[in-house]
Amino acid sequence: MKLALVGDIGGTNARFALWRDEQLESVRVLATADYPGPEAAIGAYLAELELPLGAVDSVCLACAGPVGGDEFRFTNNHWRLSRAAFCRELQVRELLLVNDFCAMALGMTRLGEGERLQLCPGEPEAHRPWVVIGPGTGLGVGTLLQLADGSWLALPGEGGHVDLPIGSPREALLWQQLHAQLGHVRAEDVLSGGGLLTLYRAICALDGHAPRLHSPAEITAAALAGDAVALQVIEQFCCWLGRAAGNLVLSLGGRGGVYIVGGVVPRFAELFRASGFARCLRDKGVMSGYFEGIPAWLVTAEYPGLMGAGVALQQAFATARV
């Protein structure tokens, strides 16, 4: 009986797993820089598991960017993929490519106990959109809908590239600093790993501090150690993430709940939970009452994108099994 394989491919790492009985098995993380393309990486993964080419029948890969047609160029690494050549080389019958945040959104349907922290209390409304937003290398945004037959529909989009929202005089001044440096200011320019450093420099410029931190990791470590300027950066980051997520809730009617995902926020989870995120999520003037009862969570699951790729594969291919 054939195997199913799922992958979640980012800029630095590619995560692969077998998909069996609606669960992940044999998860491995490979550096994309070590391989010329996904075929070579998957070949190495299969070799490690002592599986021959042809052992995998169905594959789902979650990839950053719009997917369509035979040729796909990964937007955040050097890999390229031809669907036909991929299936031929790896002897795969079915290949499904999905947007990485569609997979991330689908992964929210399989969260286990202890894989999310509550940020705002409430009960999700049935059959209303779920909002999924996550700072990582960039800012990913996804929308999830449960259909009448019980299946899930994840809607791709480029919500990370919307304008950065301004909700206070202080934020307007910071926006001016950012605009002087960047021109057009996208939400992703601040709400991402690299955006922490951009925001830190803008705060230093506005408040007259000499910058002494030089990476997102340094800023996070300094904030956790109690550094006043770094704490301001984290607080403003959390507030802006709340505003961006709140805009999505209003735009989509997202009363199914808000899920904060990605690799950045869990690194300072307790600071995030104590921050102004929840206040800014709901800070919408006459529409602030709309947010009453809408829950929000911080997702701490290790491989939600891989799990979502499994869900996508399972929904797409009836033969995606072991």
What CATH code is carried by the domain that includes residue 36? 3.30.420.40
205 and 140 housed in the same domain: yes
Q: Is 10 annotated as a binding residue?
A: yes
Q: Please give the torsion angle defined by the CA atoms of residues 35, 36, 38 and 40, in that order, rounded to the nearest 10 degrees.
A: -70
β-partners of residue 297 are 118, 259
CA distances from 40 to 9, 36, 55, 59 (A): 13, 7, 15, 15
Q: What is the pLDDT of residue 21?
A: 87
70 is in an annotated binding site: no
Q: What is the arithmetic mean of pLDDT over 14-21?
A: 94
Domain count, the chain: 2
Residue 320 pLDDT exceeds 60: no
Same domain, 18 and 167: no
Output the domain CATH number for residue 258: 3.40.367.20
Dihedral (Cα; 100, 103, 108, 109), 10-degree rounding: 170
73/172 same-domain check: no
Q: Express each pLDDT in 86-128 by its tens digit.
A: 999 999 999 999 988 999 999 999 998 899 999 999 999 999 9
Q: What residue type is 79 in one-letter code? A: W
pLDDT digits (tens, 9 = 90+) for 272-284: 999 999 999 999 9
Give the whole-angstrom CA distance, residue 290 versus residue 233. Answer: 28
**pLDDT tens digits, one per residue of 34-85:** 999 999 999 999 999 999 998 999 999 998 777 777 888 887 778 999 999 9
pLDDT at 322: 38
User: 138 or 108: whose pLDDT is higher?
Assistant: 108
Q: Which pLDDT value is given to residue 318? A: 56
Query: Which is nearest to 287 in space by CA: 186, 167, 125?
Result: 167
Domain presence at residue 321: no
Residue with tokens 């449960």: 146
Q: Is residue 83 located within the same domain as residue 232? A: no
pLDDT over threshold 90, residue 168? yes
* Domain shared by 137 and 49, yes or no: no
**Same domain membership, residue 131 and residue 35:** no
User: Domain range spanning residue 37?
Assistant: 3-105+303-316
Q: Residue 8, annotated ligand binder?
A: yes
DSSP structural state of residue 116: E
Nearest partner of 199 among 223, 183, 175, 222, judged by Cα? 175
Q: Is residue 266 predicted with pLDDT exceeding 70? A: yes
Q: Are residues 193 and 262 in the same domain?
A: yes
Distances in whole angstroms, Cα of residue 32 to Cα of each of 101, 164, 192, 256, 307: 19, 31, 20, 35, 20
Q: What is the mean pLDDT of the chain?
A: 93
Q: What is the pLDDT of residue 319?
A: 41
Q: What is the model's pTM?
A: 0.91
10 Å CB burial of residue 145 (0-12, 13-18, 19+) is middle
The tokens of 10 are what? 């980012």
pLDDT digit string, tens, across residues 229-264: 999 999 999 999 999 999 999 999 999 999 999 999
Q: Which uninterrupted H or E stretch holds 94?
A: strand 94-99
Q: How confident is the model at residue 321 (pLDDT cuts 50, 70, 90)?
A: very low
111 in a domain, yes or no?
Answer: no
Is 305 annotated in some ligand binding site?
Answer: no
Same domain for 154 and 260? yes
User: For residue 264, is it within any domain?
Assistant: yes
Are 134 and 262 within 8 A, CB to CB?
Answer: yes
Which residue do the tokens 């789902």 mark? 60
**pLDDT 10s digits, 177-196:** 999 999 999 999 999 999 99
- Looking at the fold, whether 162 and 60 belong to one and the same domain comes out as no
